[in-house]
Chains A and B, each alone.
Chain A
């Protein structure tokens, strides 16, 4: 039996809660005030994004102060009647057996619709007359529904904890679970959670449980999966779009920039347009989108971007006239981008040789690397004598000679002649 790590490793005391030191201090101060009598605000309203430790904080607080915690979830108090049923609990600070108590009403966001409106009203009633600390929790305290309620509450905002704090928490867990984790794997999980500690712990468990060691490779696909799913939806909307509007709308959903989206579309169009006429039309649309990109570049008029988008989305979608959507064809990561990073070193070498040529030949380094370099290659691979002369004349570095000669052996033949 595996216990959920979020429960198993839940912080039991306030000093173990991840982040939000200010908020916790504010809350503690308010609870302590109750010992001197009923304070002006009888309820504390904790709010902030999910998974950052609001509920955990209250539980740890009750634990640290040794008070009874009466906890209710939104599902428990949907209606006025239901609320009134446990209203009595809040009517006195001490419990039946002399201990003190805190009443926690969690997940207030869950109260929706007109049916629950009475619920909020009843809660407001409890808060006004409470004789013990009442803590309310919601993601968004500024929902108009809570406008009256807010007036009677001490508002305490919980923020996303920094990555370093999340990592600290994960480290405590891995120590107790006796798992070895690469630092950058841990960081990846912490970063990906974007401050949602709960989801970070869940991810961590899913990935690490049963393993002795967790490496970066084990976790790196996670983020890829998320982004992948999203871009796939976007691509589907464009490539199989029925109307111009729906294809164009996909752009708003994409969380990659326009150029990257273009690459995704450009990579995947061919496999999804099997009819030659459709394919030609779709590629033509991409070509025109690219023409507008060129026009943006040369005029710096960015309003042309809308035509880029028109062609790359609606233009592609409307190209489908004969191809039926048949079966499931997977989307692929833009191969060009992958290749670009692989051939970077080679291109740098070519450009550096181009620069050497430029100094002698009245031609730009870029053009030289394209137009003259291929001939040099032929010469260097066939005629060591001529190559030596040219290497000297162009003042080439040894590694450039080797690149042009193609093989180490030929390069040696040339450098030997040089010395």
Chain B
């Protein structure tokens, strides 16, 4: 049921979509990568590719822009976007991917493009099946695999793909983008607001834009206070409280807080780690301990990638914080 029809409203979209580059020429960052992709367009040929890198750095955008530049207005029929984390089983590869891949497309360019987003979430079985499909239908379909960690893509697929490594946007590029949006949307974005966004989002442009939009919804000048409050609310992960609770030795309470973040608000484990990392260096913990804790964080971050349960991994981290708090108490 829809409650609304016909009425004309100001068009609001998610700004991250509204200001997503439409062509490779629009892409201001990842310059070297964009140049190589443009050369693919010029030669009317694209190899299988892996786009790897952290979130919000333009991987999906680059893939879609490449397809648009290559096929022009008919691009929608020539590409398929599949999200591996929504449909990552082997059957998807067998059915959906194969069906798309094997049908030859008519037109100047004899192949279609399959964009497999979050491919690092595919099971290894599904990846094995994918590898055969890639090989068999190379003539009719090229694959662009998008992943945060290329290491989670099996070796045989990696060796068949041209690798592209995306990196976090440098500060000035992110600032430039946000300023452009602020200007077009008529926002009062203060410099300290920009500082705060970078601190909170660290080069993840999608997150930065979402943050900006949410901040704009408050209809106030966007200063650091607004940004921090948005970031705090957007992250039910009250990480500072979590760290304090653990370091004061109340493990069970800390685990309860963690459980709420993950189960109720669906906070991603990697986000909790990232924020704890940030908090620790901001805190008044003795300098030597900051490094020790960074080491522990790194290890847990790595296990998060390999493990199967975020809460279990993060509560191991909490136990370490309890331990650290106890040791610090002894010396103080």
Asked if A18 is at the interface (CB within 8 A of a chain B CB), the reply is no
- What residues of chain A lie closer than 8 Å to B206, measured between beta carbons? 371
Given contacts A389-B9, A389-B11, A367 and B124 within 8 Å (CB-CB): no
- Of B17, B124, B266, B320, which contacts A298 at CB under 8 A? B124
* A298, B16: Cα distance in complex, Å: 32
Asked if A375 is at the interface (CB within 8 A of a chain B CB), the reply is yes
Asked if B234 is at the interface (CB within 8 A of a chain A CB), the reply is yes
Asked if B312 and A290 sit within 8 Å, CB to CB, the answer is yes
Quick check: which of B136-144, B167-175, B207-215 contacts chain A, the rest being far away? B207-215
Asked if A374 is at the interface (CB within 8 A of a chain B CB), the reply is yes
- Nearest residue in B to A308 (C-beta to C-beta)? B308
A273 to nearest B CB, angstroms? 9
Asked if A324 is at the interface (CB within 8 A of a chain B CB), the reply is no
Within 8 A of B (CB), among A336-380: 336, 339-340, 343, 346-347, 350, 357-358, 360-367, 369-375, 377-379
Given contacts A271-B252, A284-B316, A294-B307, A364 and B117 within 8 Å (CB-CB): yes
Digitize B297-317: 1 where CB-to-A-CB distance is under 8 Å, 0 elsewhere.
000100100111101110110
Given contacts A418-B3, A418-B7, A300 and B123 within 8 Å (CB-CB): yes
- Nearest residue in B to A287 (C-beta to C-beta)? B316
Asked if A398 and B263 sit within 8 Å, CB to CB, the answer is no
Asked if B320 and A280 sit within 8 Å, CB to CB, the answer is yes
- What residues of chain B lie closer than 8 Å to A395, measured between beta carbons? 2
Asked if B103 is at the interface (CB within 8 A of a chain A CB), the reply is no
Given contacts A383-B217, A393-B12, A374 and B265 within 8 Å (CB-CB): yes
- What residues of chain A lie closer than 8 Å to B211, measured between beta carbons? 375
B220 to nearest A CB, angstroms? 10
* A383, B215: Cα distance in complex, Å: 10
Asked if A388 is at the interface (CB within 8 A of a chain B CB), the reply is yes
- What residues of chain B lie closer than 8 Å to A418, measured between beta carbons? 3-4, 7
- What residues of chain A lie closer than 8 Å to B20, measured between beta carbons? 362
Quick check: which of B44-52, B81-89, B156-164 contacts chain A, the rest being far away? B81-89
Given contacts A340-B263, A393-B13, A270 and B252 within 8 Å (CB-CB): yes
Asked if A419 and B259 sit within 8 Å, CB to CB, the answer is no
A160 to nearest B CB, angstroms? 39
Asked if B243 is at the interface (CB within 8 A of a chain A CB), the reply is no
- What residues of chain B lie closer than 8 Å to A391, measured between beta carbons? 4
Asked if B251 is at the interface (CB within 8 A of a chain A CB), the reply is yes
Asked if A392 is at the interface (CB within 8 A of a chain B CB), the reply is yes
* A234, B296: Cα distance in complex, Å: 31
Number of B residues whose C-beta is below 8 Å from A?
75
Asked if B263 and A393 sit within 8 Å, CB to CB, the answer is no
A387 to nearest B CB, angstroms? 8
- What residues of chain A lie closer than 8 Å to B319, measured between beta carbons? 270, 276, 279-280, 282-284
Interface size class of A (residues with CB under 8 A): 35 or more
Asked if A286 and B316 sit within 8 Å, CB to CB, the answer is yes
Asked if B273 is at the interface (CB within 8 A of a chain A CB), the reply is no
Within 8 A of A (CB), among B284-332: 300, 303, 306-309, 311-313, 315-316, 318-320, 322-323, 325-327
- Nearest residue in A to B207 (C-beta to C-beta)? A371
Asked if B233 is at the interface (CB within 8 A of a chain A CB), the reply is yes
Asked if B265 and A388 sit within 8 Å, CB to CB, the answer is no
* A390, B17: Cα distance in complex, Å: 12
- Nearest residue in B to A360 (C-beta to C-beta)? B17
B242 to nearest A CB, angstroms? 15
A-B contact count (CB 8 A): 196
- What residues of chain B lie closer than 8 Å to A389, measured between beta carbons? 9-13
Within 8 A of B (CB), among A257-274: 266, 270-271
Asked if B313 and A290 sit within 8 Å, CB to CB, the answer is yes
Asked if B12 and A276 sit within 8 Å, CB to CB, the answer is no
- What residues of chain A lie closer than 8 Å to B306, measured between beta carbons? 291, 294-295, 298
Within 8 A of A (CB), among B114-159: 117-118, 123-125, 152
Asked if A382 is at the interface (CB within 8 A of a chain B CB), the reply is yes
Asked if A299 is at the interface (CB within 8 A of a chain B CB), the reply is yes
Given contacts A300-B124, A418-B4, A378 and B323 within 8 Å (CB-CB): no
Asked if A385 is at the interface (CB within 8 A of a chain B CB), the reply is yes
Given contacts A290-B313, A347-B266, A393-B13, A364 and B86 within 8 Å (CB-CB): yes
Asked if A378 and B214 sit within 8 Å, CB to CB, the answer is yes
Asked if B230 and A378 sit within 8 Å, CB to CB, the answer is yes
Given contacts A297-B123, A358-B83, A382-B217, A336 and B311 within 8 Å (CB-CB): yes
Asked if B268 and A378 sit within 8 Å, CB to CB, the answer is no
- What residues of chain A lie closer than 8 Å to B217, measured between beta carbons? 378-379, 382-383, 386-387
Asked if A370 and B323 sit within 8 Å, CB to CB, the answer is no
B307 to nearest A CB, angstroms? 4
Asked if A10 is at the interface (CB within 8 A of a chain B CB), the reply is no
6 inter-chain pairs at a CB distance below 8 angstroms, sorted by A residue, are A270-B252, A287-B313, A290-B312, A294-B309, A383-B218, A385-B9
Residues of A that sit less than 8 Å from B by CB: 266, 270-271, 276-277, 279-280, 282-284, 286-288, 290-291, 293-295, 297-300, 335-336, 339-340, 343, 346-347, 350, 357-358, 360-367, 369-375, 377-379, 382-383, 385-395, 397-398, 415, 417-419
Q: Please name 18 further chain A to chain B contacts, defined as beta carbons within 8 Å, in addition to the given A276-B325, A373-B266, A378-B234, sorted by A numbering.
A: A270-B252, A280-B322, A280-B323, A287-B303, A288-B303, A291-B307, A300-B123, A339-B259, A364-B83, A370-B266, A370-B268, A374-B265, A383-B218, A385-B10, A388-B9, A392-B9, A398-B1, A398-B3
Top-10 shortest CB links A-B: A389-B12, A287-B316, A418-B4, A283-B319, A383-B217, A364-B83, A294-B308, A374-B234, A276-B326, A294-B307
